[in-house]
Amino acid sequence: MLDLLLVHPVSANDWISFDIPSLIQNFWSATFDGLTFGAIYGLIAVGYTLVYGVLNLINFAHSEVFIVGAYAVVLVLSALGFGPSVPNLPLSSIILDLVLALILAMLASAATAFVLERVAYRPLRKRNAPRLVFLITAIGASFAIQYTIFLVRGANAEPAVTMFQAQPVFDVFGTIINSQQIIIVIAAVILMILTDQFIRRTRAGRGIRAVAQDPDTATLMGVNKERIIIITFVVGGILAGAAALFYVMLVPSGVQYNGGFVLGVKAFAAAVLGGIGNVRGALLGGLLLGIIGNYGQILLGDSQWTDVVAFVILVLVLLVKPTGILGTSLGRSRA
């Protein structure tokens, strides 16, 4: 994905210029696009936030958990006959196919997360390794998964799969909101509410909160820590699988072996922005980051500025308010 962007022609003599009229003109469309992308960031961010809350680990390989899901979506849909052009199928069968793709993507991502936890992180926990070791392992695992995909599927992006034609639905402030945007944002919000309720109300969710607060005490109180950690990874994986479906819906030809990495870093930035360890914060951070990135892109006039803006925001948030907007609250606030 990034390599395609690199051949962008650069014409202006000033390398940075603020195009304010363009921002005003495109304000609402940028906002809605940003919300849509932000919802996807938010779904990925939950995976980072949960694992960070429970293990205090930036799970760098979570972006690969996501990209495995995206490959699952593309492969399943191409097998079902979807292609670059708009599919000529009745609505009911499209919905059925999409639900099938969603479930398989969730399974693929969750399975990747599970294997990752078992193979890479569990042996380290047994050895009581320092945090730097965990982090380097996460990076190594991320690389290993990325280049396994590279070997199997090659360096090129997968052929596009268009799921359905986006239909205009509303007209807000002269900007058209299409059906894709509505589906993605609403589905993301519903999934987030479900996750939030899962953590607040269920037995496993209570376990996650307990381990996040104090792993040793939780173990003494009869919480099976290993099981809780597995559940955490799997929940993150399921949401990443859902994010993968929406991502492919939005960017049909954006599935490439290394496409997850930068997206993952941005999702992590979203998690930090909202308050790491906080599920609601992940969604809020994702939406905000999506919007701000889009404003930045239009203001500065090149799509690559989105990444720069996202990273700068991450740094600013960490410097000014490291606990993020909603604070860290999966367990208790932590150092």
Partner 1 sequence: MSMSEGPKVLPGAETEKEAIDVEARPKRSGGFFQPLTDRWNGLPRQVQWLWLVVVVVIAYLLPILDIPIVTTQPGNDWALACFSMASYALIAVGLNVVVGFAGLLDLGYVAFFAVGSYTAALLTSPDSPFVHIPYLWTIPVAMAVTMFFGVVLGVPTLRLRGDYLAIVTLGFGEIVRILATIIPALKGQVGFQNIGRPPGTAADGEPIFANSNGTPWYWLTLTIIIIVLLLVGNLERSRVGRAWIAIREDEDAAEIMGVPTFKYKVWAFAIGASIGGLSGALFAGQVGFVNNQKFDVQTSILFLAAVVLGGAGNKVGALLGGVIVAYIPLRFTAIANYKYLIFGIALVLIMIFRSKGLLPARQRLLAYGRTAYRRVTSKQGHAAPPAATDAGKGAAS
Residue numbers at the binding site for partner 1 (CB under 8 A): 2, 5-8, 10-13, 15, 56-58, 119-120, 123-124, 127-137, 139-148, 150-151, 258, 261-262, 265, 268-269, 272, 302, 304-305, 307-308, 310-312, 314-315, 318-319, 322, 335
Give the max Cα distance, the chain.
65
Nearer to partner 1, 2 or 194 (CB): 2
DSSP class of residue 117?
I
Q: How far is the CB of 144 from partner 1 (least distance, A)?
A: 4
Q: How far is the CB of 310 from partner 1 (least distance, A)?
A: 8
Amino acid identity for residue 308 in this structure: V
Torsion on CA atoms 151, 263, 82, 111, rounded to nearest 10: 60
Q: How many CB atoms lie within 10 A of CB 319?
A: 8
Rounded to a whole number of angstroms, the minimum distance from the CB of residue 22 to partner 1 is 17
- Nearer of residues 76 and 272 to partner 1, judged by Cβ: 272
Could you tell me if residue 73 is left (phi over 0), alpha (psi between -120 and 50 degrees) or otherwise beta? Answer: alpha
Question: Please, what is the minimum distance in Å from the beta carbon of residue 138 to partner 1?
Answer: 9
Compute the least distance from the CB of residue 41 to partner 1, in Å. 15
- Rank residues 31 and 137 by Cβ distance to partner 1 and give the closer one: 137
Residue nearer to partner 1 on the CB measure, 18 or 150: 150
Percent helix / strand / coil, the chain, rounded to 5: 70, 5, 25
Residue 187 Cα distances to 123, 184, 239, angstroms: 36, 5, 11
Q: Which lies closer to partner 1 via its Cβ, residue 99 or residue 316?
A: 316
Query: Would you say 109 or 146 has its CB closer to partner 1?
Result: 146
Angle between helices 179-201 and 279-300 (to 10 degrees): 150
CB of 331 to partner 1, least distance (A): 17
Joined together, the tokens standing for residue 113 give 């997360």
Cβ of residue 49: shortest distance to partner 1, in angstroms?
A: 13
- CB closer to partner 1 out of 91 and 132: 132
- As a whole number of angstroms, the distance between CA 323 and CA 334 comes to 9
3-state SS assignment for residue 89 = coil
Closest approach of Cβ 176 to partner 1, in Å?
30
User: Which of 188, 273 has the CB closer to partner 1?
Assistant: 273
Cα separation values, 300 from 186, 218, 251, 273, Å: 30, 49, 22, 22
β-bridge pairing 168-172 and 175-178? antiparallel
